[in-house]
Amino acid sequence: MQTTIGELLQRAITLHKQNELGDAEILYKRILEFRPDHPDANHNLGVLKVASGRINDALPLFKRALDFNPQIEQFWLSYIEALVGAGYLDDAKILLENAKQSLPSTQTFDAFVARLRNELEFPASLSSVPSGATISTRAPRSPTSRPPASRRAGEKLLPSEHDLGQGESESDPIAAHC
CATH number of 34's domain: 1.25.40.10
- Side chain identity at 174, as an amino acid letter? I
Cα distances from 42 to residues 25, 68, 69, 81, in angstroms, run 10, 10, 11, 16
What per-residue confidence (pLDDT) applies to 48?
A: 96
Q: What is the pLDDT of residues 79-122, one digit of tens each?
A: 999 999 999 999 999 999 999 999 998 999 999 998 888 877 65
Q: How many domains is the chain built from?
A: 1
Helix runs in 18-122, H state only = 21-34, 39-51, 55-68, 73-85, 89-102, 107-120
Angstrom distances, CA of residue 75 to CA of 58, 68, 103, 123, 124: 12, 10, 11, 22, 23
Task: Judge if pTM exceeds 0.85.
Answer: no
Domain residues for the domain of 63 are: 2-175
pLDDT band at 159 (very low <50, low <70, confident <90, very high): very low
